Amino acid sequence: MVLNGDNAGNIWSFSGLDKESEDWNWEVIDKTELGESPKVAAHQIVGELPDDPFGMEIKSTFTAITGWFQEFDKDIGSDLCGSGMGQSEENIGDRSSLSGFNLVWNSSARFQQEKGILKIDEISIPYGSFNECGFGNGLYDGGDVDPYDFCEETEELYDFCDEYEEVYGESGEGGAAHDALSFALGYLGVKDLLVVERVCRSLRDTVRSDPLLWRSIHIDHPLNENITDESLVKLTDRAHGTLQCLSLVNCSRITNTCLNRTLERNPRLMKLRVPGCLKLSIEGILSNLRDFKSVGTPGIKLLRVGDRKGVTDKQFEELKYLLGADDYTQLRSREPLFYGWDNFALSFDNDRAIDIESCPKCQKIGIVYDCPTESCQAKPLGSHLCRACKLCIERCVRCGRCFNDSDYEETFCLDSICLDCLRHLLISEEEPGDSSSTHTVICQATRYEFRFYG
């Protein structure tokens, strides 16, 4: 296990690991280690709590958990999870404190396992005790925490929340199903979370009170047609100010006012994606970004605005400046981007700061596509004969190739498609099952995009 940081959590972890093989006494650790840590108040409150409320002989673990909780959130009220998670959010940017969090938890689990070993041959170990031990171990070591990848931490904190409920008997009914489900929540999108919220009370409370589930909000078909300013603000507020990634694809009802409010309430937002949001003008986005940056936030780092008509050079330059991406080489040393159904709304996977740029042919600002054909890629660097916006070079709507030396068909939606792709689609349409439905989806997507961009 990699141990980093030097907060109280780590002190505990070390104490747990070091003492593991000894017949240790928690009181000793309590006095020596806690006394040295700055959280003396926590120790006092611990003394007032019952030692072993469930008769499970887990005094040491209990002390570790509660002691840590006192430190984390001194007001353990009825809303244990909610307030606890709220507090944790404030620390989320702090890598070391999160590591500490994981390690404390790991160590508390270790204590319990140690007890388990000692007693294996003497008495039967309560089922629940082992259950907790498993929960407590957490999903990974603190040392692994990647400051930019918070999804995993979502799960970790999740377990924690659940574990807490279990230890203190708050969740009541449901048991394993709820626990298993709560692990899975991190993989669900907005729409599915809203469904899970309606399943039962405990899941509703879990979904609503956990900001980590709402840290990255992605609205796409079919939610985008109905989402309004009001609904979006309600959704983003669930992140309690920790929203980092907001992706609104073709959300034609969202206005600049709403974007402004969202940015105001979520100072940590770093990724913004608004292709096809017709009410969000480029000037409105610009002024929002200006305001956002002026209040001292880290600012948006990745912006996706999609193909828009009438973006001026001046606006483009300012956008790049606001994103901190006015370094020309940074924009050039990026992965190639191919035209196609999947790329109408460029995702964040591509590492460029902004999706639009100046077309080498017509000099207008828009999304500039590369060509996937080998003959075009083989051309000497710098000539970029086959790099342009979709208006300058016509490309296959499926594979993104140009039609310089090949035939193509025009689809019903007035998209062009190369013969290879057409053949492929026709074959897959003849096959029963999944592939044909994929094709239908693609066609729908085409029509859909066409409506907005064509």
Q: Judged by CB under 8 A, does residue 142 bind another protein?
A: no
What residue type is 371 in one-letter code? C
Residue closer to another protein by CB (options 3, 49) is: 3
**Cα(174)–Cα(191) distance, rounded to whole angstroms?**
23
Q: Judged by CB under 8 A, does residue 113 bind another protein?
A: yes
Stretch binding another protein (CB under 8 A), from 5-13, 184-192, 210-218, 236-244: 184-192
Applying CB under 8 A, among 28, 139, 295, 427 the residue interacting with another protein is 139
What residue type is 219 in one-letter code? I
Q: Judged by CB under 8 A, does residue 173 bind another protein?
A: yes
Q: Judged by CB under 8 A, does residue 441 bind another protein?
A: no
Residue closer to another protein by CB (options 136, 366) is: 136
Q: Judged by CB under 8 A, does residue 127 bind another protein?
A: yes
Stretch binding another protein (CB under 8 A), from 219-227, 242-250, 267-275, 397-405: 219-227
CB of 447 to another protein, least distance (A): 16
Q: Judged by CB under 8 A, does residue 229 bind another protein?
A: no
Residue closer to another protein by CB (options 34, 145) is: 145
Residue closer to another protein by CB (options 234, 451) is: 234
Q: Judged by CB under 8 A, does residue 246 bind another protein?
A: no
Applying CB under 8 A, among 189, 298, 336, 454 the residue interacting with another protein is 189
Stretch binding another protein (CB under 8 A), from 40-48, 52-60, 130-138, 409-417: 130-138
CB of 411 to another protein, least distance (A): 25
Give φ, ψ of 418 to 5 degrees.
-75, 160
Query: In 306-433, which residue ranges form alpha helices assigned H by DSSP?
Result: 313-323, 328-332, 374-377, 419-430
CB of 353 to another protein, least distance (A): 29
Half-sphere exposure for 423 (CA within 13 Å, toward CB): 5
Q: What does the per-residue mask of binding to another protein show for 1-40, with x meaning CB under 8 A?
A: -------------------xx-------------------
Q: Judged by CB under 8 A, does residue 255 bind another protein?
A: no
CB of 55 to another protein, least distance (A): 18
Q: Judged by CB under 8 A, does residue 239 bind another protein?
A: no
Stretch binding another protein (CB under 8 A), from 30-38, 179-187, 292-300, 397-405: 179-187
Q: Work out the angle at residue 367's Cα, subtended by the Cα atoms of residues 320 and 325, and round it to the nearest 5 degrees.
A: 15
Q: Judged by CB under 8 A, does residue 448 bind another protein?
A: no
Question: For residue 144, what is the DSSP state?
Answer: G
Residue closer to another protein by CB (options 197, 420) is: 197
Instruction: List interacting residues with another protein (CB under 8 A).
Output: 20-21, 110, 113, 116-117, 120, 125, 127, 130-131, 133-135, 137-140, 155, 159, 173-174, 176-181, 183-192, 194-201, 203-204, 222-223, 225-228, 231, 234
